[in-house]
Amino acid sequence: MSEKLSVKTMEQFAAQGEKPEILFWVGSAGSYDDRAKKISRAFVKILNKANVDFAVLGAEESCTGDVAKRAGNEFLFQMQAMMNIEILNAYEIKRIVTCDPHSFNTIKNEYPDLGGNYEVVHHTQYIKELIDSGRLSIEGEAYKGKRITFHDPCYLGRANSIFDAPRNVLQKTNAIMVEMERNKKTALCCGAGGAQMFKEPEKGDMDINVLRTKDALETNPNIIATGCPYCNTMMTDGIKAHQKEDTVDVLDVAELIANSI
Protein backbone atom coordinates (compact mmCIF):
# COMPACT_ATOMS: atom_id res chain seq x y z
CA MET A 1 0.00 0.00 0.00
CA SER A 2 1.23 3.45 -0.93
CA GLU A 3 0.64 6.68 0.95
CA LYS A 4 -2.42 7.23 3.11
CA LEU A 5 -5.30 8.98 1.41
CA SER A 6 -7.92 11.00 3.15
CA VAL A 7 -11.37 10.18 1.80
CA LYS A 8 -14.69 10.95 3.49
CA THR A 9 -18.07 9.68 2.41
CA MET A 10 -21.17 11.80 2.01
CA GLU A 11 -22.70 9.83 4.83
CA GLN A 12 -19.90 11.04 7.15
CA PHE A 13 -20.32 14.63 6.00
CA ALA A 14 -24.07 14.44 6.58
CA ALA A 15 -23.59 12.89 10.03
CA GLN A 16 -21.48 15.89 10.98
CA GLY A 17 -23.99 18.25 9.42
CA GLU A 18 -21.39 19.46 6.94
CA LYS A 19 -21.31 19.90 3.20
CA PRO A 20 -18.34 19.21 0.94
CA GLU A 21 -17.13 21.60 -1.76
CA ILE A 22 -17.56 18.92 -4.34
CA LEU A 23 -18.60 15.30 -4.78
CA PHE A 24 -16.08 12.99 -6.41
CA TRP A 25 -18.02 10.55 -8.58
CA VAL A 26 -15.64 7.60 -8.70
CA GLY A 27 -17.55 5.48 -11.20
CA SER A 28 -17.53 1.71 -11.51
CA ALA A 29 -14.18 1.51 -13.30
CA GLY A 30 -12.55 3.85 -10.80
CA SER A 31 -13.90 1.72 -7.95
CA TYR A 32 -13.21 -1.81 -9.17
CA ASP A 33 -10.85 -1.90 -12.14
CA ASP A 34 -7.28 -2.43 -10.96
CA ARG A 35 -5.78 0.01 -13.42
CA ALA A 36 -8.50 2.64 -12.95
CA LYS A 37 -8.28 2.43 -9.16
CA LYS A 38 -4.77 3.88 -9.47
CA ILE A 39 -6.26 6.85 -11.32
CA SER A 40 -8.81 7.38 -8.52
CA ARG A 41 -5.97 7.27 -6.00
CA ALA A 42 -3.87 9.72 -8.00
CA PHE A 43 -6.77 12.13 -8.25
CA VAL A 44 -7.44 11.93 -4.52
CA LYS A 45 -3.76 12.62 -3.89
CA ILE A 46 -4.23 15.85 -5.88
CA LEU A 47 -7.42 16.71 -3.99
CA ASN A 48 -5.69 16.09 -0.66
CA LYS A 49 -2.68 18.15 -1.68
CA ALA A 50 -4.91 21.07 -2.65
CA ASN A 51 -6.89 20.66 0.58
CA VAL A 52 -10.15 20.17 -1.23
CA ASP A 53 -13.04 19.34 1.05
CA PHE A 54 -14.56 16.58 -1.08
CA ALA A 55 -16.81 13.59 -0.53
CA VAL A 56 -17.48 10.29 -2.23
CA LEU A 57 -20.69 8.26 -2.10
CA GLY A 58 -18.88 5.00 -1.41
CA ALA A 59 -21.27 2.09 -1.20
CA GLU A 60 -24.15 4.45 -1.98
CA GLU A 61 -22.79 5.06 -5.48
CA SER A 62 -24.06 2.87 -8.28
CA CYS A 63 -23.34 2.53 -11.99
CA THR A 64 -24.53 5.65 -13.88
CA GLY A 65 -26.22 3.41 -16.42
CA ASP A 66 -24.31 4.93 -19.34
CA VAL A 67 -23.12 1.61 -20.67
CA ALA A 68 -26.61 0.07 -20.40
CA LYS A 69 -28.12 3.03 -22.25
CA ARG A 70 -25.63 2.77 -25.07
CA ALA A 71 -26.20 -0.96 -25.28
CA GLY A 72 -29.88 -0.18 -25.84
CA ASN A 73 -31.20 -0.97 -22.37
CA GLU A 74 -33.05 2.25 -21.62
CA PHE A 75 -34.92 0.59 -18.73
CA LEU A 76 -31.80 -0.32 -16.85
CA PHE A 77 -30.30 3.08 -17.57
CA GLN A 78 -33.27 4.98 -16.20
CA MET A 79 -33.50 2.71 -13.14
CA GLN A 80 -29.85 3.38 -12.35
CA ALA A 81 -30.21 7.08 -13.12
CA MET A 82 -33.24 7.52 -10.87
CA MET A 83 -31.64 5.63 -8.00
CA ASN A 84 -28.52 7.74 -8.23
CA ILE A 85 -30.51 10.96 -8.59
CA GLU A 86 -32.52 10.10 -5.49
CA ILE A 87 -29.32 9.81 -3.46
CA LEU A 88 -27.62 12.83 -4.99
CA ASN A 89 -30.71 14.98 -4.42
CA ALA A 90 -31.15 13.71 -0.87
CA TYR A 91 -27.62 14.91 -0.11
CA GLU A 92 -28.34 18.16 -1.98
CA ILE A 93 -25.31 17.71 -4.20
CA LYS A 94 -24.57 20.76 -6.34
CA ARG A 95 -21.23 20.03 -7.92
CA ILE A 96 -19.73 16.76 -9.13
CA VAL A 97 -16.26 15.90 -10.42
CA THR A 98 -15.40 12.62 -12.12
CA CYS A 99 -12.43 11.00 -13.84
CA ASP A 100 -14.73 9.15 -16.21
CA PRO A 101 -15.95 11.03 -19.32
CA HIS A 102 -18.83 8.55 -19.68
CA SER A 103 -20.15 9.31 -16.19
CA PHE A 104 -19.44 12.97 -16.91
CA ASN A 105 -21.51 12.95 -20.09
CA THR A 106 -24.38 10.96 -18.66
CA ILE A 107 -24.78 12.89 -15.40
CA LYS A 108 -24.27 16.25 -17.12
CA ASN A 109 -26.48 15.69 -20.16
CA GLU A 110 -28.86 12.83 -19.50
CA TYR A 111 -29.70 13.14 -15.79
CA PRO A 112 -31.31 16.63 -15.91
CA ASP A 113 -34.35 15.29 -17.82
CA LEU A 114 -34.87 12.76 -15.05
CA GLY A 115 -34.64 15.30 -12.25
CA GLY A 116 -30.90 15.41 -11.58
CA ASN A 117 -29.46 18.88 -12.07
CA TYR A 118 -25.84 19.31 -11.07
CA GLU A 119 -22.80 21.14 -12.24
CA VAL A 120 -20.56 18.40 -13.54
CA VAL A 121 -16.87 18.83 -14.27
CA HIS A 122 -14.29 16.44 -15.61
CA HIS A 123 -11.25 15.94 -13.40
CA THR A 124 -8.97 17.60 -15.97
CA GLN A 125 -11.16 20.71 -15.79
CA TYR A 126 -11.11 20.58 -12.02
CA ILE A 127 -7.33 20.20 -11.85
CA LYS A 128 -7.02 23.20 -14.14
CA GLU A 129 -9.33 25.12 -11.83
CA LEU A 130 -7.15 24.20 -8.82
CA ILE A 131 -4.01 25.32 -10.62
CA ASP A 132 -5.57 28.55 -11.93
CA SER A 133 -6.87 29.51 -8.50
CA GLY A 134 -3.45 28.87 -6.95
CA ARG A 135 -4.62 26.00 -4.75
CA LEU A 136 -2.37 23.55 -6.52
CA SER A 137 1.12 24.22 -7.77
CA ILE A 138 3.15 21.94 -9.97
CA GLU A 139 6.73 21.95 -8.89
CA GLY A 140 7.97 18.50 -9.82
CA GLU A 141 9.80 18.05 -13.06
CA ALA A 142 9.31 14.33 -13.48
CA TYR A 143 8.14 14.85 -17.04
CA LYS A 144 10.30 17.78 -18.11
CA GLY A 145 11.35 17.29 -21.71
CA LYS A 146 9.31 14.09 -22.09
CA ARG A 147 7.15 13.76 -25.19
CA ILE A 148 3.49 13.46 -24.23
CA THR A 149 0.63 12.95 -26.65
CA PHE A 150 -2.93 13.31 -25.42
CA HIS A 151 -5.63 10.96 -26.67
CA ASP A 152 -9.02 12.72 -26.63
CA PRO A 153 -11.74 10.55 -25.06
CA CYS A 154 -14.81 10.67 -27.37
CA TYR A 155 -17.17 11.52 -24.53
CA LEU A 156 -15.04 14.41 -23.32
CA GLY A 157 -13.91 15.78 -26.68
CA ARG A 158 -16.30 15.30 -29.55
CA ALA A 159 -19.29 14.65 -27.31
CA ASN A 160 -18.83 17.66 -25.04
CA SER A 161 -16.27 19.86 -26.81
CA ILE A 162 -13.72 19.81 -23.99
CA PHE A 163 -10.34 19.85 -25.67
CA ASP A 164 -8.24 22.49 -23.92
CA ALA A 165 -8.46 21.65 -20.20
CA PRO A 166 -6.46 18.40 -20.36
CA ARG A 167 -3.89 19.95 -22.68
CA ASN A 168 -3.49 23.06 -20.51
CA VAL A 169 -2.98 20.92 -17.45
CA LEU A 170 -0.42 18.70 -19.17
CA GLN A 171 1.53 21.72 -20.32
CA LYS A 172 2.22 22.59 -16.68
CA THR A 173 4.47 19.54 -16.39
CA ASN A 174 6.98 21.15 -18.78
CA ALA A 175 6.65 18.17 -21.06
CA ILE A 176 6.84 18.48 -24.83
CA MET A 177 3.27 18.15 -26.06
CA VAL A 178 2.91 16.41 -29.40
CA GLU A 179 -0.39 16.04 -31.25
CA MET A 180 -1.54 13.00 -33.15
CA GLU A 181 -2.63 13.68 -36.70
CA ARG A 182 -6.23 12.91 -35.77
CA ASN A 183 -6.94 14.95 -32.68
CA LYS A 184 -9.70 16.88 -30.92
CA LYS A 185 -12.87 16.76 -33.04
CA THR A 186 -11.41 14.22 -35.45
CA ALA A 187 -9.73 12.01 -32.84
CA LEU A 188 -10.20 8.30 -33.42
CA CYS A 189 -12.08 6.37 -30.75
CA CYS A 190 -10.08 3.93 -28.60
CA GLY A 191 -12.68 1.28 -29.32
CA ALA A 192 -14.25 0.91 -25.88
CA GLY A 193 -17.32 3.15 -26.11
CA GLY A 194 -20.91 2.13 -26.73
CA ALA A 195 -20.55 -0.97 -24.52
CA GLN A 196 -17.70 -2.38 -26.64
CA MET A 197 -15.57 -2.50 -23.47
CA PHE A 198 -17.65 -5.42 -22.27
CA LYS A 199 -17.74 -7.57 -25.39
CA GLU A 200 -15.52 -9.02 -28.07
CA PRO A 201 -15.34 -6.86 -31.20
CA GLU A 202 -17.21 -7.93 -34.31
CA LYS A 203 -15.28 -9.65 -37.06
CA GLY A 204 -12.82 -7.31 -38.79
CA ASP A 205 -9.22 -7.07 -39.84
CA MET A 206 -7.87 -5.14 -36.86
CA ASP A 207 -8.81 -4.01 -33.37
CA ILE A 208 -9.66 -0.33 -33.02
CA ASN A 209 -7.30 0.19 -30.07
CA VAL A 210 -4.38 -1.16 -32.10
CA LEU A 211 -5.14 1.38 -34.83
CA ARG A 212 -5.44 4.22 -32.34
CA THR A 213 -2.18 3.34 -30.59
CA LYS A 214 -0.57 3.32 -34.03
CA ASP A 215 -1.72 6.95 -34.37
CA ALA A 216 -0.16 7.70 -31.00
CA LEU A 217 3.11 5.89 -31.69
CA GLU A 218 3.58 7.90 -34.88
CA THR A 219 4.22 10.94 -32.65
CA ASN A 220 7.14 9.11 -31.10
CA PRO A 221 5.93 9.67 -27.53
CA ASN A 222 7.35 8.72 -24.16
CA ILE A 223 3.89 8.88 -22.68
CA ILE A 224 0.38 8.55 -24.02
CA ALA A 225 -1.88 10.60 -21.76
CA THR A 226 -5.57 9.80 -21.40
CA GLY A 227 -8.48 11.21 -19.46
CA CYS A 228 -10.71 8.15 -19.36
CA PRO A 229 -10.30 4.80 -17.58
CA TYR A 230 -11.59 2.88 -20.60
CA CYS A 231 -9.28 4.67 -23.03
CA ASN A 232 -6.46 3.87 -20.62
CA THR A 233 -7.17 0.14 -20.75
CA MET A 234 -7.53 0.16 -24.53
CA MET A 235 -4.36 2.16 -25.14
CA THR A 236 -2.39 0.04 -22.67
CA ASP A 237 -3.48 -3.11 -24.53
CA GLY A 238 -2.71 -1.40 -27.83
CA ILE A 239 0.83 -0.58 -26.74
CA LYS A 240 1.31 -4.24 -25.84
CA ALA A 241 0.05 -5.26 -29.27
CA HIS A 242 2.72 -3.02 -30.78
CA GLN A 243 5.26 -4.43 -28.27
CA LYS A 244 6.08 -0.96 -26.99
CA GLU A 245 5.13 -1.46 -23.35
CA ASP A 246 8.78 -1.09 -22.28
CA THR A 247 9.31 2.29 -23.91
CA VAL A 248 5.91 3.99 -23.84
CA ASP A 249 3.74 4.55 -20.76
CA VAL A 250 0.00 5.07 -20.78
CA LEU A 251 -0.98 7.39 -17.93
CA ASP A 252 -4.01 9.39 -16.93
CA VAL A 253 -3.71 13.17 -16.67
CA ALA A 254 -4.36 12.79 -12.92
CA GLU A 255 -1.44 10.41 -12.54
CA LEU A 256 0.90 12.71 -14.44
CA ILE A 257 -0.09 15.61 -12.21
CA ALA A 258 -0.01 13.57 -9.00
CA ASN A 259 3.58 12.66 -9.86
CA SER A 260 4.43 16.32 -10.42
CA ILE A 261 3.24 17.86 -7.17
Partner 1 sequence: MEYIANILFAIALTVGIGFFARNIRKLSRNIKLGKTVDTTDNKPQRWKNMARIALGQTKMVVRPIAGLMHIIVYVGFVIINIEVLEIIIDGLLGTHRVFASLGTLYDFLIGSFEILAFLVVVAVVIFWVRRNIIKLKRFIKPEMEGWPKKDGNLILYIELILMFLFLTMNAADLQLQTLGAEHYTKAGSFPISQFIAPLFEGMSVSSLIIIERIAWWLHIIGILCFLNYLYYSKHLHILLAFPNTYYGKLKPQGQLDNLEAVTKEVKLMMDPSADPFAAPAEDTVDPEKFGASDVMDLSRVQLLNAYTCTECGRCTSECPANQTGKKLSPRKIMMDTRDRLEEVGKHMDKNKGKFVDDGKQLLGDYISNEELWACTTCNACVEACPVSIDPLSIIIEMRRYLVMEQSAAPMELNNMMSNIENNGAPWPYNQQDRLNWVNE
143-172: contacts with partner 1 (CB under 8 A): 154-155, 158-161
In whole angstroms, the minimum distance from the beta carbon of 11 to partner 1 comes to 11
Number of alpha carbons in the 13 Å side-chain half-sphere of residue 196: 16
- Closer to partner 1 by Cβ: residue 78 or 219: 78
Number of residues near partner 1 (by CB under 8 A): 73
The helix (H) or strand (E) run that includes residue 111 is: none
- SS3 label, residue 194: coil
Question: Under the criterion CB under 8 A, does residue 61 sit at the interface with partner 1?
Answer: yes
Distance CA 98, CA 26 (A): 6
Question: Under the criterion CB under 8 A, does residue 72 sit at the interface with partner 1?
Answer: yes
Member of 10, 46, 52, 68 binding partner 1 (CB under 8 A): 68
Distance CA 184, CA 60 (A): 35
Provide the phi-psi class of 54: left if phi over 0, else alpha when psi is between -120 and 50, else beta.
beta
Distance CA 220, CA 212 (A): 14
* Site residues (CB under 8 A) for partner 1, limited to 75-114: 75-80, 82-83, 105, 109-110, 113-114
What binding mask, one character per residue, do residues 200-239 give for partner 1 by CB under 8 A, x or -?
xxxxxxxxx--xx---------------------------
Question: Under the criterion CB under 8 A, does residue 116 sit at the interface with partner 1?
Answer: no
Check if the beta carbon of residue 107 is closer than 8 Å to that of residue 64.
Answer: yes
Member of 58, 87, 129, 163 binding partner 1 (CB under 8 A): 58
